[in-house]
């Protein structure tokens, strides 16, 4: 039964091998979806090209439906899936910081690695920035430790926290994604490269 790692079908070492293989696949699809260029990634913040948004939501919905149906049919134990602890405030602040970096640099950590693999110079600078930032965070951590550990809410998940059935939540996320896709198409027509009269870059 899945998740295989939790049920000790393989150990941490073999897990790394699988992680490597899945990582290669993940990177390949990101690159093929066009996530390897900062231009495309940054364009979504100006509603010119929402490919990133659409790919991400497709991935979220696919994974969600997959996990949900696999566990409903008993192929998977959803309760064993690791959930990262929630620290509400620090995570909001961290998310905003990441977003700012995303707009400025044109990459998120994962996509910067993808861009490195095709030799984008800006991506190498970006990765350098990641290491520098990580180092600085480590150095100032004692000063912000109190904040970094505040508003700890434990391992919470939405269906339990809000006490709504899993299925309803799944349906709501599907509706949200479909609405998002429709909205994204609309925004691309209105603001994007694809709008009527604009030069088709493809």
Partner 1 sequence: MKINFSKWTINQKLAALTLLLGFIAIFMRDPSKATIVSVDTKELSLKILDKSTHITPEELAHWLIEKKEDYKLIDLRSEKQFKEYSIPGSMNIVPSEILDVKLPKNQKLVLYSEDNLEASQTWFVLKTHRYKDVYFLEGGMKDWKSTVLYPTVAENASAEEKAKFNIMAEISKYFGGSPRTLALGGQQAEIKMTQPSPKVSAPAPVAPAKQSGGKSKREGC
| Footprint on this chain of partner 1 (rule: CB under 8 A) | 1, 5-7, 12, 61, 65, 68-69, 71-72, 74, 76-85, 149-150, 152, 154-155, 159-160, 165-168, 170-171, 173-175, 177-178, 181
Which C-beta is closer to partner 1: that of 17 or that of 125?
17
Could you tell me the sign of the dihedral formed by the alpha carbons of 127, 133, 136, 142, in that order?
negative
Cα–Cα nearest to 122, from 46, 37, 40, 49 = 37
Tell me how far, at minimum, the Cβ of 197 lies from partner 1, in Å: 23
Tell me how far, at minimum, the Cβ of 122 lies from partner 1, in Å: 24
Which C-beta is closer to partner 1: that of 95 or that of 167?
167
Which C-beta is closer to partner 1: that of 54 or that of 120?
54
Q: Could you tell me which residues come within 8 angstroms of residue 80 by beta carbon, excluding any fewer than 6 positions away?
A: 3, 6, 7
Which C-beta is closer to partner 1: that of 92 or that of 160?
160
Cα–Cα nearest to 41, from 121, 110, 93 = 110
Alpha carbon distance 6, 139 (integer Å):
34
Tell me how far, at minimum, the Cβ of 87 lies from partner 1, in Å: 9
Tell me how far, at minimum, the Cβ of 116 lies from partner 1, in Å: 18
Q: Could you tell me which residues come within 8 angstroms of residue 149 by beta carbon, excluding any fewer than 6 positions away?
A: 87, 90
């Amino acid at each position: 039964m899945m998740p295989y790692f939790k049920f000790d079908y393989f150990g941490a070492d073999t897990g790394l091998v699988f992680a490597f293989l899945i990582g290669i696949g993940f990177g390949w699809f990101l690159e093929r979806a066009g996530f390897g260029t900062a231009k495309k990634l940054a364009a979504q913040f100006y509603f010119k090209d929402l490919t990133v948004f659409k790919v991400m939501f497709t991935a979220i919905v696919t994974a969600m439906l997959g996990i949900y149906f696999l566990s409903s049919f008993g192929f998977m134990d959803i309760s064993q899936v690791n959930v990262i602890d929630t620290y509400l405030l620090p995570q909001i602040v961290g998310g905003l910081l990441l977003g700012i970096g995303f707009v400025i640099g044109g990459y998120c950590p994962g996509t910067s690695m993808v861009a490195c693999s095709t030799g984008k110079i800006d991506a190498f600078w970006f990765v350098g920035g990641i290491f520098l930032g990580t180092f600085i965070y480590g150095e100032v951590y004692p000063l912000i430790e109190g904040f970094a550990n505040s508003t700890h809410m434990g391992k919470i998940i939405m269906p339990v926290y809000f006490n709504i059935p899993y299925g309803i939540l799944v349906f709501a996320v599907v509706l949200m994604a479909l609405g998002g896709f429709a909205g994204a198409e609309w925004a691309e027509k209105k603001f994007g490269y694809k709008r009527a009269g604009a030069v088709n870059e493809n």
